Amino acid sequence: MSEQAASLRAPTRTPAFEARLKKRYAAERRFRIAGIAAIGFSIFVLAFLLVTMALNGIGGFQRAELTVPIDFTEAGLAGDRTSLAGTAGMQSLENQGLPEVVAFFAEQSLGEEAAAELGESAWREVAEAIIADPALLQREAVFELPATSDLAGGLSGEGSPEMQALAAQLAERGQLEKNFDIGFLQRSDATDPQQAGIWGALKGSMLTMIVTLLLAFPIGVMAALYLEEYAPKNRWTDIIELSINNLAAVPSIIFGLLGLAVFLTIFPNLRSAPLIGGMTLALMTLPVIVISGRNAIKAVPPSIRDGALAIGASPIQVVFHHVLPLALPGILTGTIIGMARALGETAPLLMIGMRVFVASPPEDFTSAATVLPMQIFLWSDEIDRGFVERTSAAIIVLLLFLLVMNGLAIYLRNKFEKKW
Partner 1 sequence: MVTVVHPNLEDTEAKMSARDVSVFYGDKKAIDEVSIDIPTEYVTAFIGPSGCGKSTFLRALNRMNDTIPSARVEGTIELDGEDIYRSKMDVVQLRARVGMVFQKPNPFPKSIYDNIAYGPKIHGIAESKADLEEIVETSLRRAGLWDEVKDRLGDSGTALSGGQQQRLCIARAIAVDPEVILMDEPCSALDPIATAKIEELIDDLNGRYAIVIVTHSMQQAARVSQRTAFFHLGKMVEYGRTTDIFTNPLEERTKDYITGRYG
Residue 237 amino acid letter? T
Identify how many contiguous H helices and E strands the chain contains and give both numbers: 20, 3
- The Cα 335–Cα 372 span in angstroms is 20
- The Cα 324–Cα 217 span in angstroms is 13
Total residues contacting partner 1 by CB under 8 A comes to 22
CB of 300 to partner 1, least distance (A): 10
CB of 87 to partner 1, least distance (A): 58
- The Cα 31–Cα 205 span in angstroms is 43
Stretch that binds partner 1, among 99-107, 115-123, 280-288, 301-309 (CB under 8 A): 301-309
Nearer to partner 1, 9 or 418 (CB): 418
Residue 413 binds partner 1, judged by CB under 8 A: no
Whether the CB-CB separation of 276 and 352 falls below 8 Å is answered with: yes
CB of 375 to partner 1, least distance (A): 45
Stretch that binds partner 1, among 34-42, 353-361, 365-373, 412-420 (CB under 8 A): 412-420
- The Cα 200–Cα 108 span in angstroms is 35
Nearest 5°: CA angle at 83, between 77 and 86?
105
Residue 420 binds partner 1, judged by CB under 8 A: yes
CA distances from 98 to 77, 80, 94 (A): 8, 15, 5
CB atoms within 10 A of CB 45: 10
- The Cα 269–Cα 169 span in angstroms is 52
Nearer to partner 1, 290 or 308 (CB): 308
Nearer to partner 1, 13 or 233 (CB): 233
Helices in 137-192 by DSSP H: which ranges? 149-155, 161-172
The site map against partner 1 for 247-286 (x = CB under 8 A) is ----------------------------------------
CB of 46 to partner 1, least distance (A): 36
CB of 418 to partner 1, least distance (A): 4
Nearer to partner 1, 309 or 337 (CB): 309
The site map against partner 1 for 303-332 (x = CB under 8 A) is xxxxxxxxxxxx--x---xx---x------
Regarding beta strands 176-180 and 140-146, do their DSSP bridges make them parallel or antiparallel, or are they unpaired? unpaired
Window 215-254: residues binding partner 1 (CB under 8 A): 232-233
Which residues bind to partner 1, rule: CB under 8 A?
232-233, 301, 303-314, 317, 321-322, 326, 418-420
